[in-house]
Chains A and B, each alone.
Chain A
């Protein structure tokens, strides 16, 4: 479910992709500082997007530094530090923890146990800092789980719950922008749930697993419908983003929202896309 909110590096100039990386690295550094090595396993593009979004909105004074990352020993990397990055790091832990909890209970693979244990300690700190958020996210995940166990095909409900979950994550502060940020998170949450169900459909059916799109899949216009639905959901997001006074890094944000989010979808339809290009020449 996570990982859809990413860049399309092919359509971004090198220096702009580098800029995104400064936030990504900043997140990594923050995770390591606050939660040690276990924290870094949670690093995600999704929360990097949130970082760039919040950074663009609140425009903190960024202090870039150079450091030599243990994973990239040869080339020095720059990264940013800010309260926003620290916040996103916390949210990384929050999401990863609950996801690990979910995975552990679902599949029960040994790796899930390991991940979960590693995150538990980090999560305690996050829970202390944001008890309401954590409780809300936990409840929402629980409700999603209930619906899925009941094999619900109420995709609106499932998307709504996921949306509300991300809305919590995106609601950085109680201020003038909270509502729009929640709306952005809400749309993205709905999108990732839907896209996840859509992408996993074949795999789920093969493994005789539940997929909420089962009923819709029987419709002859299934493909068109899914594309239209996901577009509708994203339109809400981009509309809301456009309400914000964003100037810094707006090209990066747009790259993600108009292109990057469709990466998995494009790969699923690779043949059609390539064929279309060919015939359009």
Chain B
């Protein structure tokens, strides 16, 4: 595979903005609309697209990845028509859990809200994956928790969850394992809730904090990037007065001074 930066005509130290601008410049040149029917333009466009994605990925601190998918788990790339649970038994007794996650709970995948936690997360994911297994040294006195932990370590998240759901008392360790099991199945909302509970109940436990940080990683970036947008500004607009009156049947854009209602 050729050097993506070279294809785009930028230096490897170019910023993301520069990479995007370079892409745009080239895309304009080889745009299919401007070169109808040209197979060379089409091939070049493909090359540019791949180079772009590659370069951006590198910029964001991840590794190079195959063109077909970001997480390798995606069924889109394989071209199979996918349901909403993937292959078989999507709505079976296991609910909508991702049967194929095999420990890759951090990946985004179409089978679950599998939290693609970004390229930082991607890089993290690989580290996280090894720590998933090797640092998973914590043993539990409670044999049921230990069993759940073992299930998780071998990627059998649904079994872990089934087991955990039979345990009546929900201490910090229970929540931690519950979070991991859910994360493995792509249930990031439940995972976040349990991770928060685990940390809240046992604030000194670094392993619990690490899990919460992993889930919260993207949110941190989001919060930083939304610094310029204050909530108060969302309050000050009045509903538009010049909105059309027959709004039962017709939604329409409003005049100035407020939202586009609808």
Contacts and interface: CB of A to CB of B under 8 A. Distances in A.
Interface stretch (B137-145, B146-154, B242-250): B242-250
B96 A157 contact: yes
Given A111-B248, A221-B196, A163 B113 contact: yes
Interface in B26-71: 27-28, 31, 33, 46, 49-50, 52-53, 56, 60, 67, 69-70
Interface string A24-56: 110010000000000011111100100000000
Measured as residues with beta carbon below 8 angstroms from the partner, the interface class of chain B is: 35 or more
B174 interface: no
Contacts of A194: 189
A64 interface: no
Given A232-B218, A239-B118, A273-B231, A156 B70 contact: no
Given A155-B189, A176-B46, A183-B108, A263 B196 contact: no
B96 A231 contact: no
Contacts of B193: 216, 219, 225, 229
B209 interface: no
A161 interface: yes
Interface stretch (A98-106, A200-208, A241-249): A241-249
B43 to A, nearest CB: 13
A93 B150 CA distance: 49
B181 interface: no
Interface in B59-113: 60, 67, 69-70, 74, 76-77, 81, 83-84, 91, 95-96, 108, 110, 112-113
A277 B252 contact: no
B131 to A, nearest CB: 21
Contact of B233 (A3, A11, A167): A11
Given A25-B253, A28-B252, A266-B234, A59 B221 contact: no
Measured as residues with beta carbon below 8 angstroms from the partner, the interface class of chain A is: 35 or more
A190 B196 contact: no
A182 B76 contact: yes
A202 B116 CA distance: 32
Contacts of A59: 24, 27-28, 31
Nearest to B212: A228
B33 A247 contact: no
Interface of B: 16, 19-21, 23-24, 27-28, 31, 33, 46, 49-50, 52-53, 56, 60, 67, 69-70, 74, 76-77, 81, 83-84, 91, 95-96, 108, 110, 112-113, 115-118, 182, 186-190, 192-193, 196, 200, 215-216, 218-219, 221-223, 225-226, 228-229, 231-237, 244, 248-253, 256, 258-260, 262
5 contacts: A176-B53, A232-B216, A235-B219, A243-B56, A273-B231
Given A71-B252, A155-B189, 8 more contacts: A10-B237, A111-B248, A176-B46, A183-B116, A229-B193, A239-B116, A258-B226, A263-B259
